[in-house]
Amino acid sequence: MPKVTASPPVTAPSTPPPRRSRIGDLQMRVVYRILAAAVAVIVAAVAAVVGFLSSGSSDRPGEGEPGQIAAPSAAGPSPGSTPSSTPTAQPTPSPSAEPTPDGSAVTAALADPRVPDLPGDKRLARLPGKSYASKRRIQDEKSGVSLIRFGEPWKPFGASPFATKQVLPAVKGAGHRAMLVSCPVPIEVQATVKDTALLAARWTLNHHPEGSRITWAASQPIDEGWLLAYQVKYEVKGKNRSSMAAVALTEVPGAKPAMVFVTIPDSQRKRWRDINTAMASIRRS
């Protein structure tokens, strides 16, 4: 019988070893744990930053959203509570609600050698000159009154610093120009309209020659106000001169009193009667 020989076993070609990951020999589950931990740290950091930014504006007392101002509470402190030491905003008083002055301004005015003590109530007498009437009126919207608008030789003039202004032609050597003006009273309002009129009369010396002195001619109540008339004496180039003047204050609701002031030098004495006319023409708007 033929001899049977066993053939050697066929071996499969060897396969190359698998390529390793760059991470090395770490198992994938360890990689996943590391990635998860890193993500958790990043999320926590972002949350902390957002929380800090959002709390930055609310941690400051008295601040709200940008562009808004917290309004103070209108309610007073509850019984037994201690008032806060932080000052609260107070409303700005309206002109009609100004605190009553202490009278020091009046005392100072009466101590001024240019201003004598006010006389007792005395009505304005009819002044020299001819009466010139006019039906035209000037409305002073700023002051809240209206008054006569004289015709020629009076004429409107640049009002500043007043609200309305009328003037007579300038006269050489008179010392100043005759004028009729109106405006809200330019000095501090006093406890009474009479005291305010006193300070206003003293203020009008700014519109007379330097060294002018007042001699009172009238002090009387008028409708919703007070009127003072006076002669103003001064020197011009060494010569004694004078003007006749008057100031009237009219109380206006919700505003400072309106002031009407007129002064006419003695070189235009024939127009002094216009002072009577002007003072009698004042009306509240």
Tokens at residue 130, please? 């001819």
Q: How many CB atoms lie within 10 A of CB 99?
A: 8
d(CA 178, CA 208): 10
Local structure of residue 207 (DSSP, 8 states): G
d(CA 231, CA 265): 10
Identify the three-state secondary structure at position 44: helix
Answer for the pair 216, 158: CB distance below 8 angstroms, yes or no.
no
How much is the pTM? 0.65
Local structure of residue 267 (DSSP, 8 states): G
Answer for the pair 90, 178: CB distance below 8 angstroms, yes or no.
no
What is the residue-level pLDDT of the chain in tens, covering all 285 positions? Answer: 445 444 454 444 454 554 544 444 445 555 556 665 665 656 555 555 444 444 443 333 333 333 332 333 333 333 333 333 333 333 333 344 354 577 899 999 999 999 999 999 999 999 999 988 899 999 999 999 999 999 999 999 999 999 999 999 999 988 899 999 999 999 999 999 999 999 999 999 999 999 999 999 999 999 999 999 999 999 999 999 999 999 999 999 989 999 999 999 999 999 999 999 999 999 998
**The Cα angle at residue 202 between residues 207 and 125, in degrees rounded to 5:** 90
Which one-letter amino acid corresponds to residue 253? P
Residue in 245, 267, 269 with CA at minimum distance from that of residue 173 = 267
Cβ-Cβ contacts under 8 Å for 155 (sequence gap 6 or more): 166, 167
- Max Cα-Cα span within the chain: 178
pLDDT of residue 59: 38
pLDDT of residue 257: 97
